[in-house]
Structure 1
Amino acid sequence: GVAKDVQGNPIVGATVEYMSLETGRKYNLKTNNKGEFFSLGVAPGKYKVTLSKDGKVIYFFNNVPVGLDEDANTLNFDMAKEQSKAAQQTGMSAEQAKKQQEEAAKAQKENLNIKALNEKLATSRQAMQAANYDQAVQAMTEATQMDPNKDLLWFTLGDALTGQAKKTQATDRAAAKPIYEQAVAAYQKAIAIKPTADYYNNLGQAQTQAGQVDEAIKSYNQAATLDPTRAAMFYFNLGAVLTNTGKVDDAIEAFKKSIAADPNRADSYYWLGVNMIGKATLKGDKMVAPEGTADAFNKYLELQPNGQFAQPAKDMLASIGASVETTFGKKKATKSK
């Protein structure tokens, strides 16, 4: 027999299972590139014949007789014909049946497209885990060409390009910049479809590396607006960008916002202190830091006494003549006289 879909195309690589209704014995046949299937070894009897592909049943016939006459054993799966029969049984007109067939064909095509896109996503993610960013970029470029209207595809392409740029940057900083710019474009396309905090955060990172600092600042602020529950992280990332570009006053404000969003984020206190000490002045041979500088470093030490910045924080305190407060934020008990 032959298996064809609702559009009349051959169903290739499908399984046709003959199951004897008398003995339960099963015969599995495969359709070729023309949708054809055949076997000379099926014993006479009555069978349930099921057409399936990728583990999903497409259609089945019950009480199918198989005899010794080979010509009489022909069985075709014509999905357009079967859908038309089903439509007539429910009282639908020919036009309604045709529309139903078209919708089913469209859904089938969409399902196949989704499957292919998921395979591209899986390939890209595996490649990125193995630091094979060229393969990841290629897979996601193909995916966005297949369907340019899915935000996740553009976002993942942006991540793949960012990884590729970082790897390139290790040996050629100039060559990395245009790749970062491509990542920016990919993230922007994702945001145009569906703006999310994560998309803006990663966009900000790529914009920073591409030298688009003012745009990066806007992106981090937008990320914090879209997801206030993670604002501490987004403002911290913003503060890092501002610190690296020498925008001290703006960096101080960003780290203060990060602390306001999460008072237990230790690193925000440390970098707040670093930026504040950058505004210190000399009076004679003594360094005078803005009010709150020592508090920032001591709060970091309270939260992370053995953290990666513990020693630098102590060194900073020593440089401004401040002591390490082991009971920061608590009033010391006074002795009664």
Structure 2
Amino acid sequence: MATKPQKNANDPSVSPRAIPSRLYRLGTLLKNFMLFSSAYLAVIAAAEVVIVTELLDLPLTPAPLVAGLLTFAVYGNDRVADVETDERTTPARTAFVRRYNRLLYALSAAAYGLAVALAVLGGPVAFALALVPGAAWLCYAQDWLPSFGRVKRLKQVFVLNSALVAGAWALVVVFLPLAFVGAPLTPTAGIVCLIFFLATFVDVEIPNVRDRVGDRDIGVKTLPVVVGVRGTRYALYGVTALGAAVLVTAFSDGLLALGETVWLLVSLLYLTGVVAALGRIDNDGLLTVAAECSRLPLLVLVFPPLM
């Protein structure tokens, strides 16, 4: 009777020394998945809906989960659809998307289906809002415009490209929690929506600084392509300044409490600091993530004992 071969204790596959290496590879894979699939954006979107829920004094609903799933689905599909054009500007992300193309597509489709199914629980308005990001992405990324020169997608249209993305996410983040509880629209909700729109517009333009050469080559007109990096900084300073002016006016009119106004201003100040670094430090990928996290200081309103 043959005896079962014994594993060599010095075999690297069973050596305790191999465990840290495996954990490191697993951690790297998880980090790449969160970053390159934009799963981290799903977490941020869910947190923003929680913040809006607190700002508008609403009960907690499944809206944060729906927003997170929608974000993951839309950005995941966008990564897959733009894998060819993104190769010049984000080679590391493109390599990851190519390797896990089918998995990312399947997860994105499942996330969108689940998000829409959950949105039904909030009624017809919530259901309609759940369709907005997908519809906006189709308008933004697909070739459907009559061909005027090289312009075939809204993604190529100056300013409108970023405004479309910012508008879609502001609508979902602010109005989805309202729809779930059937709350009426208020001036305060309008102010919060405008602030999130302006901040998201800035978020969208920040990575365009890194991508300006590739965008210029494929005919996408962004602020950095049209007015340069310095011009982009000044334009985005103007956007955050407009947001600050809106907040001060809303506070003076009694639409926002002092604490809410202060923390919204802190968020805009943080975002302005990120804008100031554009073109002045090399790691624009880090700046993109930093900008996308700019609303997270508002979590102090949700969890004051922890902050």
TM-score bin (small chain): under 0.3
More strand by share: 1
More helix by share: 2
When normalised by structure 1's length, the TM-score is 0.23
Q: Which has the higher contact order (CA 8 A, sep 6+)?
A: 2
When normalised by structure 2's length, the TM-score is 0.25
